[in-house]
Structure 1
Amino acid sequence: MLFDAKRLAAVSLLALLAACQTVSAPSVITLDKAQGSSENISSLTATVNADPRNPESYNVRGTAYGRAGQNKDAIADFTTAIQLNPNFYQAYANRALVYRQTGDNQAALADYNAAIRLNPNYDGAYIGRGNLYRTANRNREALADFQKAIDLNTTDPRAYHNRGLLYQRDGQHKQAIEDFSTAISLRADAPEPYSGRGVSYLALGDDENAFSDFNMALKLNDRSAEYWTNQAIVFERRGDKARAAKSYARAAQLDPNYKPAKDGLARTRGTA
């Protein structure tokens, strides 16, 4: 029975490591959700109408459209901003993010490349392009971009978080923990680095620190199936099937298609 418990814990950890790689980092558009409200967009539209030749106004409204999920309108505004100012590298990077959100990765890559050509010291474009490379499993290119942003002394936590994910994928968990910790020091209210660091702690057998990080991630965002699954895995490794099943059940409720949660729930409820 001890062998089975270890085997199941290993299976859980492998599933968790795989799932962690799909997590998206905070985006280039970092506006507050309220800035995507219809009231704010109406106000920004008034600003655009008052000065229709100002590219910055279109860029700002484009970010608001992006936050609201109005991708076509966002792309149109960023395009207008670029037409008015062909050197507007921030607008290229913002449009790249929206292209990526719509699944047009080729257009996103072209825009990130354009932003970098216009400003080789723009850390945000390297981070955005690096994340595009990372999700396409172009790990070497992704690592180079995150490293470039870090060499530029970026204060953007995404550079460290995403590099940490690459280290984690490569089994370099101590380096990953360092990067996740730096990301946390730069933005303590983001749950993703806590979750990522917890996964690496778990891989190193440090269940206590892993559990602490998973709980912090849940405190910051209790609507994530992944975070509830992370917590459940620690309960399962401790042999507390009742609590594990409860957390797996909550994860499955939030995302019925999340396989690590479904598999964990089957195990801890004795139906595997």
Structure 2
Amino acid sequence: MTIERTGPDFMPARSDCVRSRRSIAAALLAAALLAGCQTMTTPAVDMTNVDPATAAPANIESLTAVIRQNPNDANAYNVRGAAYGLAGMYKEATADFEAALRLDPSFGQAYANRALILRRQGKLRDALADYNRAIQADPGYAPAYVARGNIYRQEGRADLALADYNTAISINPTDAQAFYNRGLANQALNQHQTAVEDFTTAIGISPGAAEPYNSRGVSYLALGDPKSALDDITESLRRDNRSFQAWANQGLAYEQLGDRQKAFTAFSRALTVNANYQIAVDGARRTSATRA
């Protein structure tokens, strides 16, 4: 019986602090108008913390106005690049991050943002090189360690991934992403009790996120505790009922508990989202013949 692990990335629920920055573009524009030709002091932005609404065309236009008034401000290019990246405009995003780096070659967040674009394009070697540059430029920038660790984990180098997640956590002990991804690395090493502890910490920091519940459920299944697994996976589905992985994992939990009818229903729900998901296909086939 195969247990599905969750994907490589985790986006925690938006905090009240992030909600208060709903329009980064508008804030930057206001800062530019107040500062005139002076250098803006708006904090740098990494793509994982940008409100998706910033990618709206009107906000991108506002960011372009900021750049016109502040053509030597590296952060303005970085923020617009993040907006382009969220909009899927990778060529434009890369151009902006490169402009930011020409203006400030030690801009760690711009290297990390460019690396994320490269990673989304499947250019893992180039992305890894940019994360290395981000860390060299700013050794205290925790998101770069998490992101580099994700590449290491994707490549099967869980030991290097763990080292990066540990560093990120030492820099920021409230980084839910770091704890979540460290849990995934521990899963890959079959250290499921340690993984449960990491997912529990991630849940405590970001209780609205679905992924840590599903992943903790996976580890409970591996530890032979299908009841706890079912509780966690069901909690995950309350937050995201379009996760075919979670539906399939719920099916596995019900199957371990001996309720094949509910298992079949869960596998079937997974297949309504992704009809080619092999774990759900196999699970539905195993449980269909035994339904009442």
Alignment TM-score > 0.5, same fold: yes
Match of 2:134 among 99, 115, 133: 115
- Contact 2:6–2:245 (8 Å) recurs in 1: no
Q: Distance in 1 between matches of 2:210 and 2:82?
A: 23
Contact 2:6-2:214 at 8 Å conserved across structures: no
Percent of aligned pairs sharing the same letter: 45
* Residue of structure 2 equivalent to 1:140: 159
SS of the equivalent of 2:185 reads helix
How far apart, in 1, do the equivalents of 2:126 and 2:93 lie?
Answer: 14
What is the SS of the residue equivalent to 2:241?
coil
Residue number in structure 2 paired with 1:219: 238
The equivalent position to 1:63 in structure 2, one of 72, 75, 82, is: 82
Distance in structure 1 (CA, Å) of the matches to 2:51 and 2:227: 33
8 Å CA contact retained: 2:128, 2:148: yes
Partner of 2:209 in structure 1?
190
The DSSP-based 3-state class of the residue aligned with 1:69 is coil
1:86-105 equivalences in 2 (<5 Å): 86-105=105-124
Query: Do the aligned residues in 2 keep the contact of 1:29 with 1:67 (CA within 8 Å)?
Result: no
Task: Give 2:261's aligned amino acid.
Answer: A
Q: Any residues of structure 2 matched to 1:41-52 within 5 Å, and which?
A: 41-52=60-71
Residue in 2 aligned with 1:20? 5
Task: Indicate the residue corresponding to 2:251 in structure 1.
Answer: 232
AA aligned to 1:212 is D
Partner of 1:242: 261
Q: What TM-score results when the alignment is normalised by the length of structure 2?
A: 0.83
Shift of residue 23 of structure 1?
A: 4.0
Match of residue 286 from structure 2: 267
Cα deviation, 1:155-183, whole Å, max 9, x if unaligned, reads 22111111111111222111111101111
Normalising by structure 1, we get a TM-score of 0.88
CA deviation vs aligned residue, 1:10-33 (integer Å, no higher than 9, x gap):
x1xxx21xx305443339523232
What amino acid is the match of 1:162?
N
With over 3 angstroms needed to count, the CA separation of the structure-2 counterparts of 1:199 and 1:266, relative to structure 1, is same
Check conservation: 2:214, 2:236, Cα contact below 8 A.
yes
- Which of 158, 169, 179 does residue 150 from structure 1 map onto? 169
CA RMSD of aligned residues (A): 1.7
Extract unaligned runs of 5+ from structure 1.
Answer: 1-10
Assess if the C-alpha contact under 8 Å between 2:192 and 2:220 holds in 1.
yes
Q: Distance in 2 between matches of 1:180 and 1:231?
A: 18
Partners of 1:227 and 1:103 lie apart in 2 by 25
